[in-house]
Amino acid sequence: MGGARKKRLTGWRILVIAQSFSIAAMTVRGADAPLALMCEYRTDPIGLETPAPRLSWQTSDGQAAWRVRVASTPEKIAAGEADLWDSGKVSGGDTFGVEYAGKKPMPSQRVYWQVKTWTS
């Protein structure tokens, strides 16, 4: 392949977050989807009052890039619509403590997020 590297999409992992950010796993796509998703270092946080909660995940292979999307409904996140935040594709191996940088959800609002990773 002449030295060119192909980047492989490893899949989406979706979690539910209820404002003030509680979290529960929903679905996984792809064998290499991100694992162990956490919000504020917990797998099932409820009622967090952190304005910018930190999101973390693990990957089975070396991660070359990631993208986080956050939406207000499961239908929107399933359709790939991020009405609260879309980080865009970010190069690098960050998987720990990525700060939420989107719109502030309403009190007690459920929030849904997904992370997509790419490997080299």
SS3 percent helix, strand, coil of the chain, rounded to 5, is 5, 45, 50
Low-confidence ranges of the chain (pLDDT < 50): 1-16, 18-28
How is residue 32 annotated by DSSP?
Answer: T
The structure's pTM equals 0.74
Summarised one tens digit per residue, pLDDT across range 65-97 is 999 998 988 899 889 899 999 999 999 988 999
State the Cα–Cα distance between residues 7 and 9, nearest whole angstrom: 7
